[in-house]
Amino acid sequence: MLILLGIVLGMMTTCLTIILAVGMVAYTGLYLHSFSVFFIIPLGALVSGGLCGSGVYGILFLAGRKPTFVHHLVAVFLGACGFVGIYYGLYATAYVTPDMKINHMFQGEHISNFVYSDTGEPVTFASFIMDEVRSRTTTVLFRVGGGAPSIVPRVGLGSTINWIDFGIEVIGFLLGSTIGGGILSERKHCARCQRYMREWTLFSVILDNLPATVSALDNVLTSGVQYREFIKRVPSLVPPITEPHARFDMVYCPRCYEGFLLIRFMRKKSDGSFEEVENYRKTIALHADVVRQVIVREPAKEPV
């Protein structure tokens, strides 16, 4: 039953993706589904494929289920359908004006009513795609020194490069369709309750205060000290945080409230942001009673 609901919702998200992509071409001339970074990263295809498969994984998230191979397979199928659907949508909306310009606004005659002058063959869906690929152009942005980005007019890259780009786009759609599954697979999950766990960032402390904080936290876990009393004594940092620190995150099940505490050690990068040193991560199991105390104490925080 769940897989059927996923297929139905996936078909809906795929249709919406097709409408969005074709609409962007019709009204703005932008082929967002074909957008790539450095010519090899099919960003537009990855995002479009992800939207196609999002219906399957959205149902799984709401139901609290982990994705299986079958779900990934359905998502890939939907990504393929989205890819073909976008190009068929472009073909179905391709019209030719009296001055022989193609548009997707239903102005003129449909392109299937025309034939190629050299062969006399009609413009079919297959030949339309081949022409689309062979005639592709690209816009290049570059920056000189510290100035604003400059735009090179649309240039052709040649038939061979265009077909390679087209193949990368296909792969991008198929891989992108499973992005949602990758996100769900990484998310913490309570197997007993079949629910995805929530995560809150409780507080952060400088590394010098970490031993005292952990010792005080141990009293909450083993001696029955109330969390509200403990949090009063924590010398927590107030944003913006500018120095290396330890961040305390609580992960818990929204049904049974069993969970654990993650102590993440954050180091400062050269650009001023912070990243976790995962090798030093610590995990402390939390009883449901402690989690309930924290939830009552932290009503204004939004779960991640």
Strands 245-252 and 109-110: what pairing? unpaired
Res. 21: pLDDT tops 70? yes
Other Cβ atoms less than 10 A from the Cβ of 59: the count is 20
Res. 228: pLDDT tops 90? no
Backbone angles phi, psi at 216, to 5 degrees: -65, -35
Sign of CA dihedral 304, 73, 38, 34: negative
Q: Between residues 239 and 129, which one has the greater pLDDT?
A: 129
At 297 the pLDDT is: 57
Give 222's pLDDT tier (boundaries 50, 70, 90): low
C-alpha neighbours within 13 Å on the C-beta side of residue 137: 8
Backbone angles phi, psi at 210, to 5 degrees: -65, -45
- Mean local confidence (pLDDT), 253-274: 89
Other Cβ atoms less than 10 A from the Cβ of 135: the count is 10
- Mean local confidence (pLDDT), 127-134: 84
Of 126-130, 174-178, 290-294, give the lowest mean pLDDT range: 290-294
Question: For the chain, which residues make up each domain, given as ranges?
Answer: 2-186, 190-297
pLDDT in tens, 82-101: 999 999 999 999 999 988 88
- CB of 82 within 8 A of CB of 18? yes
What does the buried/exposed string (b/e) look like for 98-116 if buried means 16 or more CB atoms within 10 Å of the residue's CB?
Answer: eeeeeebeeebeebbeeee
